[in-house]
């Protein structure tokens, strides 16, 4: 069977561009009411019956029969054995990726994640204490899309933050374990791991069961059931983001070899038929060249069926008036991955306001960032980069304000607070402030 | 009518302490299915009919008839006039509070909110760019509980972050405007303001209407309708936290004047019958003294009915074995407000892991922090301080990872990425990395 990858060819000067462009971008996060109801039922059941419910759902949905939750725990020695059993090349790649991810997140903590305080002129201390969460749950998808790199990207920032208890859950349909995922859990220093998944795993982590400890926050991607369950337990525990389909936007000035860019578009498209790959460039001949490389390279790709569908349904090669316009369009999209494939990426970077990760220059393929450059590959999708950030050490920390008002400070602040408190009709607040004022 | 404030007297050495304590703490965030459905309907209607729906609901729920949304906009000159019309004392208090809140949040941005980057040994650049959100919506409750201080606490961190468009919504039932709230919006530099509220205001901000601009994030407290609406639009826009009833925990070593502590408990209890005030102290005589002050001071309080009910239903004076045990209990509660009313608060502060804000020493009444010490008064409630933080500049910023892989870096990283990508079955990722390797 022959596959054709035919991304839409658009031009910003077309009269109907705004309409065509909006249509390409459209993706609805609307949830399925049937899924919502089933997830609500599963959560309620796990909350009520604990381990027994988790065992039932694991048997039913994952085809994995177990007599007890103990049988679903992955022991440390099993994780280590998985690591030891890998080819040397994979062991080294995992360790090298983990090292770089760790060192990046340590820099992140140092730059933005330390406690701070100061004293004002009255000797009053003000600041914030930054502390790690006690215990977090990491959801790792299993089955078709089992990504060891996701284990590293979730567990390592938690570790760097200082979380003392990292619980991983990963479904293993029919009991089939992915050795790379187990090995990654070993390398990342996950504290406990269970072969459970779906809404039942999210429920177990959020409510706790006799076997699964209740966590403070749940991170990691999952299918529609997992996303719905995370959204429902939000508030009782923290969650990271709700991920939509993955996307890449490439801003090209036409100087990068077109086969490199074609392969970067493939690397996004191969994830999923809903994934989105868009190329913006002011040079029409370059867009033609990239399309030729797409046509030439596609037959070699094992995942060509997915790539062809993703590019044809959701991909686009867009001719822009200039690079400035390409940057402005990018800001409207707020892409998850943004490649600036240009000779001088630093000329354009300051114009880029919203993106999960910005990959600068022709050598920075998104895939290097996905695995081992260091920054996190868990990124805001579907335009949520307008208001959210990559997963990071800060997701595994929280802050407490620190205030120590000096006696002198209480005299000044007490008057201000009392005026405002009386203004709000809160006399208790006012009197508490006034009591600290010397008469 | 005489009111009695009778907080539960518990002791950690009682056999049934764990049970009684758990019962006092219990608070259910379960939402009302009827409210959920009404909110879903309102959101769908505003999404469909825009301004017309907002006008309808404002007439129906707030008793405020208007022909057009323009009539519901508070113009800058109206905000200024409200400020100019206040007594000098209130003007000065608002400005002084705003100054301190601004200077604290500027310190916060400098300490934890700046962009950073470094280059590794191969010349590869890694870092994060921190940028403000473009546009945010601030929900300010109206009616009974109209808090100008909340305007400052939401708008000022957004301003300090660099948000260029701050949209305030505040319901004005029957068209009654609170001059202090309008004045606070003027002082805080809100860009636009509308007299709308409830789920319809949240919907207008999240979806945008012809008049109300679509925002990127919505912050600020509200009633059950507002909380439910915020939770529903989460993902399309960012939200801050979903607030539960307010709480204070006082750890006392018995050296603070007992009337000060009694008034601090009142200042929490007066918010709301569901508010919770708990005192932990290893000195039984001191607990007696505080109860005597509660009895003595209660009749003087204008909000004595609310205070009495809140303290009797949800309050507790708890005798602990020692201050260490009090600190451990505090960590289990993860209180919103935590007063360490002790001669040497710095002895205990390192033991305190989870709290929204920590008030150190007898002079630091919570009410000073509520209004003007500087730190934010929007804090995680109901134990969510285990995983979340005070509202801050970081809530109005987002981060983009920056990666610029050098040619030398691509040689090393390309091999690692390719091994892992082949291991995950993602050949497009592997080939994109390999293409950057020189043969």
Cβ pair B428:A307 closer than 8 A? yes
Q: Is A379 part of the contact surface with chain B (CB cutoff 8 Å)?
A: yes
**Average of pLDDT values for A226-251?**
91
For residue B144, pLDDT beyond 70: no
pLDDT band at B30; cut points 50, 70, 90:
low
- State the catalytic residue, choosing from A105, A191, A337, A377: A337
A336 a catalytic residue: yes
Do residues A170 and A78 touch, judged by C-beta distance below 8 A? no
Q: Per the annotation, where are the binding residues of B for NAD(+)?
A: 139, 200, 223
pLDDT digits (tens, 9 = 90+) for B260-293: 999 999 999 999 899 999 999 999 999 999 999 9
Whether residue B93 is predicted with pLDDT greater than 70 in this model: the reply is: yes
Q: Does any CB of chain A come closer than 8 Å to the CB of residue B293? A: no
B residues 211-230 closer than 8 Å to A (CB) = 216-217
Among candidate residues B161, B361, B87, the one with its CA nearest the CA of residue A419: B87
B148 interaction partners in chain A (CB closer than 8 Å): 420, 423-424
B230 CB neighbours in chain A (<8 A) are none
Is residue B1 pLDDT above 80, yes or no? no
Task: Tell me the mean pLDDT in the region B336-344.
Answer: 97
Chain A, 45 to 74: residues with Cβ < 8 Å from chain B are none
* Three-class DSSP category at A237: strand
Which residues on chain B are in Cβ contact (under 8 Å) with A387?
Answer: 133, 216-217, 237-238, 398
Average pLDDT score over residue span A236-255 = 92
A221: left (phi over 0), alpha (psi -120 to 50) or beta: beta
Residues with Cβ < 8 Å from A187, sequence gap 6 or more? A83, A94, A95, A98, A152
Tens digit of pLDDT for each residue in B101-117? 999 999 999 999 999 99
How far does the CA of residue A67 sit from the closest CA of chain B (Å)?
31
Contact (CB<8Å) A428/B390: no
B224 Cα to chain A: minimum distance (Å): 14
Q: Are B341 and B253 in contact (CB under 8 A)?
A: yes
Which are the contacts of B81, defined by CB distance < 8 A and separation ≥ 6? none
- How far is Cα A224 from Cα A241, in angstroms, rounded to an integer? 13
**Residue among B54, B46, B68, B57 at smallest CA distance from B207:** B46
Q: Which residue of A has its CA nearest to B404?
A: A360
Are A404 and B345 an interchain contact pair (Cβ–Cβ within 8 Å)?
A: yes
Q: If DSSP codes are grouped into helix, strand and coil, which group holds residue A422? A: helix
Residues 6+ apart with CB under 8 A from A29: A242, A244, A382, B235, B236
pLDDT > 80? residue A89: yes
* Residue contact A364–B93, C-beta within 8 A: no
Backbone region of residue B374 per phi and psi (left: phi > 0; alpha: psi in -120 to 50; beta: other values): left
> What per-residue string of b and e applies to A310-348 under the rule 16 or more CB within 10 Å gives b?
bbbbbbbbbbbeebebbbebbbebbbbbbbbbbeebeeb
Confidence category of residue B342, pLDDT binned at 50, 70, 90: very high
Compute the mean pLDDT over every residue in chain A, rounded to the nearest whole number: 95
Q: CB atoms < 10 A from the CB of B25, how many?
A: 16
Q: Which of A273-277, B35-39, B226-230, B396-400 has the highest mean pLDDT?
A: B396-400
Query: How far is residue B86's CA from residue A422's CA, in Å, rounded to a whole number?
Result: 14
Q: Give A-chain residues touching B231 at CB under 8 angstroms.
A: 234-235
Q: Residue A429: enclosing H or E segment and its boundaries?
A: helix A427-435
Rounded average pLDDT over A128-149: 90
**Gyration radius of chain A's alpha carbons:** 25
pLDDT tens digits, A162-205? 999 999 999 999 999 999 999 999 999 999 999 999 999 999 99
Confidence of residue A144 (pLDDT cuts 50, 70, 90): low
Cα–Cα distance, A244 to B88 (Å, whole number): 52
Residues A250, A253, A254: CA angle, nearest 5 degrees: 100
pLDDT in tens, B302-312: 999 999 999 99
Q: What three-state secondary structure class fits B167?
A: strand
DSSP B339-363: EEESS-HHHHGGG----SEEEESTT
Residue A37 in tokens: 């109801």
Residue B324: other Cβ atoms inside 10 A? 13
A416 touching B, CB under 8 A?
A: yes
Closest partner residue to A368 (CB to CB) among B369, B385, B417 is: B417
Locate the chain A residue with the closest alpha carbon to B370: A417
Scan residues 73-92 of B and list those with Cβ closer than 8 Å to A: 89-90, 92
- What are A4's two structure tokens? 């054709």
What residues of chain B lie within 8 A of the CB of A360, using their CB? 125, 402-404
User: Is residue A89 annotated as a catalytic residue, yes or no?
Assistant: no
State the pLDDT at residue B218.
98
- CB proximity under 8 Å: A 241-280 to B: 241-242, 257, 259-260, 263-264, 266-271
pLDDT score recorded for residue B142? 83
pLDDT at residue A134 above 80? yes
What number of other Cβ atoms are within 10 A of residue A147's Cβ? Answer: 26
Closest Cα to residue A368, out of B387, B134, B420? B420
Q: Do B259 and A433 touch (CB under 8 A)?
A: no
ipTM of the complex: 0.95
Burial class (CB in 10 A: 0-12, 13-18, 19+), B36: middle
Least confident interval from A399-413, B142-156, B371-385: B142-156
3-class DSSP state of B95: helix
- State the average pLDDT over residues A343-351: 97
Shortest CA distance from A243: residue in chain B = B235
pLDDT for residue A354: 97
Length reported for chain A: 439
């Amino acid at each position: 069977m022959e596959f054709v990858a035919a991304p839409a060819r658009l031009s910003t000067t077309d009269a109907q561009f705004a309409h065509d462009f909006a249509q390409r971008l459209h993706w609805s996060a609307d949830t399925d009411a049937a899924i919502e109801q089933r997830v609500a039922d599963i959560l309620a059941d796990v909350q009520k019956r604990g381990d027994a419910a988790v065992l039932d759902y694991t048997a039913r949905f994952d085809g994995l029969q177990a007599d007890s939750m103990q049988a679903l725990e992955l022991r440390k020695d099993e994780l280590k054995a998985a690591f030891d059993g890998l080819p040397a090349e994979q062991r080294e790649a995992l360790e090298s990726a983990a090292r770089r991810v760790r060192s990046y997140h340590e820099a992140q903590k140092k730059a933005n994640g330390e406690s701070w305080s100061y004293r004002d002129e009255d000797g009053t201390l003000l600041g914030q204490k930054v502390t790690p969460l006690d215990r977090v749950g990491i959801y790792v998808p299993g089955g078709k899309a089992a990504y060891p790199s996701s284990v590293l990207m979730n567990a390592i920032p938690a570790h760097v933050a200082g979380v003392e208890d990292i619980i991983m859950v990963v479904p293993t349909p029919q009991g089939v374990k992915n050795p790379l995922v187990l090995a990654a859990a070993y390398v990342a220093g996950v504290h406990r791991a269970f072969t459970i998944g779906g809404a039942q795993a999210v429920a177990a982590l959020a409510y706790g069961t006799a076997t699964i400890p209740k966590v403070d926050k749940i991170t990691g991607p999952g299918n529609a059931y997992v996303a719905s369950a995370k959204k429902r337990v939000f508030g009782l525990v923290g969650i990271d983001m709700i991920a939509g389909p993955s996307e890449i936007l490439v801003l090209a000035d036409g100087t990068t070899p077109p086969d490199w860019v074609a392969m970067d578009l493939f690397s996004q498209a191969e994830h999923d038929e809903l994934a989105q790959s868009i190329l913006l460039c002011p040079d029409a001949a370059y867009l033609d060249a990239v399309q030729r490389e797409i046509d030439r390279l596609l037959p070699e790709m094992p995942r060509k069926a997915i790539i062809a569908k993703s590019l044809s349904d959701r991909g686009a090669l867009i001719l822009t008036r200039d690079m400035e316009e390409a940057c402005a369009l990018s800001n409207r999209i707020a892409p998850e991955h943004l490649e600036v494939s240009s000779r001088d990426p630093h000329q354009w970077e300051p114009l880029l306001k919203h993106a999960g990760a910005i990959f600068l220059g022709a050598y920075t393929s998104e895939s290097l960032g996905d695995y081992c450059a260091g920054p996190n590959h868990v990124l805001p999708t579907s335009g949520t980069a307008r208001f959210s950030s990559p997963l990071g050490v800060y997701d595994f920390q929280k802050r407490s304000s620190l205030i120590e008002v000096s006696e002198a400070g209480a005299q000044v602040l007490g008057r201000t607070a009392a005026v405002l408190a009386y203004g709000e009709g809160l006399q208790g607040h006012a009197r508490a402030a006034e009591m600290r004022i010397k008469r």
